Amino acid sequence: MSLERIDFLVGVWRGEGHGDYPTIDSFNYSEEVTFGTIPTKDFVTYTQRTKDADGLPLHTESGYIRSPAGGIAELVIAQPTGVAEILTGVIEGTALDLTSTMVGLTPSAKTIRSTARLIEVDGDVLRYRMSMSAMNQPEQFHLEAELHRV
Q: Which domain holds residue 40?
A: 7-149
**Cα 117–89–120 angle (5° rounding)?**
50
pTM to 2 decimal places? 0.95
Q: Which residues pair with 116 in a beta bridge?
A: 99, 131
60-116 pLDDT, tens digit each = 999 999 999 989 999 999 999 999 999 999 999 999 999 999 999 999 999 999 999
Residue 67 placed within a domain: yes
Measured distance CA(88)–CA(75) in Å, rounded: 6
Number of separate domains in the chain: 1
Residue 127 placed within a domain: yes
3-52 pLDDT, tens digit each = 889 999 999 999 999 999 999 999 999 999 999 999 999 999 999 999 99
SS3 label, residue 78: strand
Q: Tell me, what CATH number does 31's domain have?
A: 2.40.128.20
